[in-house]
A and B are shown apart, each in its own frame.
Chain A
Amino acid sequence: MTDRGPQKNDPIRAARQAQRLKKRYRKERRFRAFGMSAVLLATGILAFLMTSIVYTSIPAFTHHNLTLDVTIIAEEVDILRDDQGLVTNVDANWLGFVRTALRDSFPEVTSRRDKRDLYKLLSIGAPDAVRDAVQADPNLIGQTIQVRLPLSDDIDLVMKGLIDRNLPETDRLVSDRELAWLDKFIAEQRVSENFAIQLFANGDSREPEMAGLKGALMGSLLTMLVTLLISFPLGVLAAVYLQEMAPKNRLTQIIEVNINNLAAVPSIVFGLLGLAVFISFFQLPRSAPLVGGMVLALMTLPTIIIATRASLASVPPSIRQAAMGVGASRLQVIMHHVLPLAMPGILTGTIIGLAQAAGETAPLLMIGMMAFIVDTPTDVTSKATVLPAQIYMWANNPERAFVARTSAGIVVLLSFLLLVNGLAIYFRKRFEKRW
């Protein structure tokens, strides 16, 4: 018995053991350090990326406005009324009113060229602000009102410090004279910084201060809706049939392999398919969320099918047996037990697929959704673009102010995806059951 137990008294053996133990601890510490640095590196890069995007985007969320006294000359306003005598529309040379107000602020500006420069202080959206004010309250006609008018993008950048006043005039987008006019307005406390509601209330525009994401957001939403309505039922049905009902033969094997391969097809190919089939052959409208959603649904299908099959397969066989044992039919086993238990996984897969589709641009390129579209789409057949396409188009614009807009677009897209993923986690927790 004694020679079989560990010989605690043997000093050489004890030393060897101690050494081995030390080595094992060292190894473990080293591994832990590597793992931690990998995590740090990954989160560091991500944090850097996010910080730089968010930091660049901040200026886009505010805009500087100029409060001017604009006189609405009653004789120059056309008022349209309906049968009850209520004002339905007002029409006038709003631009003229704004220009008059600007000229009145600087009587010394007289030459045509100088006046043109003076007008450039304000955004081309300024007349619309006046119209909106009058439309909202027709009683203002004939009065001199204080209206908050958006400054032009370059002047706004000066206010935000993104255009350096100390540069020589030739290197600067804004002339000394414009700065002088601006300084006078600042001294009169007429310039204020406000939340840039345009970013969310407007569609696209060539003028950065007027460009907004409303159209793209709506377009993305409509496209995703179409994608969800097509890919979720189709994907789940296909997966349930393949996983639970289809006979295992050569044909279903070929289908399976092809579905898995479909997930790896470059997305632009789906765009080409959409162009050839949906638009050229079926004559569906170009640039429409309907076609975009259909193309993205094709792209999302394999993801949903694979995720659904995986979560169906992970439902324990004991549950199926239990249901079959009390005489549930195949369909009842699936509908009452397997599908509800697989639901969290199915939803997660679907939402991941949709999130992927929401960030996709390449297939939409082919079907005309990468386009300058000012109007907000109202239904799935109206012309529209989507968030990632909008971001790409803004990034290509030369105006300095689009730099911040582009980042703001990315922030909005990321928040959208974050929201969607949050929803996925919520549903997962909600539907999760233990067995």
Chain B
Amino acid sequence: MSSQEENIKIRTSGVTVHYGAAQALHGIDLDIRANEVTALIGPSGCGKSTFLRCINRMNDVIEDCHFGGKIEIDGEDIYSGEIDVVELRARVGMVFQKPNPFPKSIYDNVAYGPRIHGLASSKDELDHMVETSLRRAGLWQEVHDRLHTSGSGLSGGQQQRLCIARTIAVDPNVVLMDEPCSALDPIATAIIEELIEELRSQYTIVIVTHSMQQAARVSQRTAYFHLGHLVEHGDTDRIFTNPANKQTEAYISGKIG
């Protein structure tokens, strides 16, 4: 087990979140390994998205949202005072439920992150970064001849891949995905899932999904949330074939949720 210990990318312990008086998360302890896809599943309102958004502190901007506990990325407490949130979000990228490209050109969408972080020193370097990101997101072939047209003119699936390209353009080491395929058709979903599999080698990926099949297809590890509690987590194969917890079994087999 010691080799896996070293491989832990994100370590969360006793994570609690309150929205005002309502408690959304009750002491979550979950270790997320590097270069793996971890799927967070569970019925609506179980806190999996809230948990995901804790990892890059997106909840900070929500009024009345209070965080408790500890989250470490590479051994560094991301809620300590020394961490700059903006810098953290550059390291921990996020892809959202609904494709949300900026109302700018495809090029500007991808180049935005590198630009604000000053990652490229020349136009050529920036061009190269945009191309690499689009290639990794599997979108280059489709858009290379219309980089300067609006990103909102793409199809839903293409928009989501553009958002993924935008996220990986700033070279994060963790990518959070909040139901990235929920607004897409099955074909676009399949393309995104393939992409997730490819990205795994370079990034640590945490994905929230409502689709059991998707969790089973793309993830190596699965965590089942229910009513703000982490009910069970472990290897995806085991969770789906031999869940230890009755609730997990009921949810996976479609009896609740």
Binding site for B on A (CB under 8 A): 248, 316, 318-319, 321-329, 332, 336-337, 341, 433-435
Contact = CB atoms under 8 A, between A and B. Distances in A.
B58 A327 contact: no
Interface stretch (B9-17, B84-92, B185-193, B217-225): B84-92
Contacts of A327: 86-90, 113, 116-117, 170
Nearest to A321: B96
A252 B102 CA distance: 31
Given A318-B96, A326-B90, A434 B58 contact: no
A332 B103 contact: no
A434 B152 contact: yes
B100 interface: yes
A326 B61 contact: no
A337 B151 CA distance: 14
8 contacts: A319-B102, A321-B58, A321-B94, A325-B58, A325-B94, A326-B90, A326-B93, A328-B112
A326 B113 contact: yes
A322 to B, nearest CB: 4
Interface string B38-67: 000000000000000000101001010000
B163 interface: yes
B182 to A, nearest CB: 13
B204 interface: no
Contacts of B100: 316, 318-319, 321-322
Contacts of B86: 327-329
Interface string B162-185: 010011011000000000000000
B90 A322 contact: no
Interface of A is mostly: helix
Given A248-B63, A434-B152, A326 B89 contact: yes
Contacts of B93: 325-326
A323 B87 contact: no
B98 interface: yes
Contacts of B95: 325
B160 to A, nearest CB: 12
B101 interface: yes
B101 A322 contact: yes
Given A324-B89, A434-B150, A435-B103, 14 more contacts: A319-B103, A321-B58, A322-B101, A322-B102, A322-B163, A324-B61, A325-B95, A325-B96, A326-B113, A326-B170, A328-B86, A328-B116, A337-B102, A434-B152
B5 to A, nearest CB: 29
Contacts of A319: 100, 102-103
A41 B87 CA distance: 61
A140 to B, nearest CB: 65
B186 to A, nearest CB: 23
B89 to A, nearest CB: 4
Contacts of B169: 326
A321 B166 CA distance: 13
Nearest to A248: B63
Given A318-B98, A318-B100, A341-B103, A324 B58 contact: yes
A336 B102 CA distance: 10
Nearest to A329: B86
Contacts of B63: 248
A434 B95 CA distance: 21
Contacts of A325: 56, 58, 89, 93-96, 167
A248 B152 CA distance: 33
Contacts of A323: 102, 112
A100 to B, nearest CB: 74
A328 B166 CA distance: 12
A169 B170 CA distance: 92
Nearest to A341: B103
Interface in B3-39: none
A294 B43 CA distance: 58
A316 B96 CA distance: 13
B151 to A, nearest CB: 10
Contacts of A326: 89-90, 93, 112-113, 116, 166-167, 169-170
A322 B89 CA distance: 11
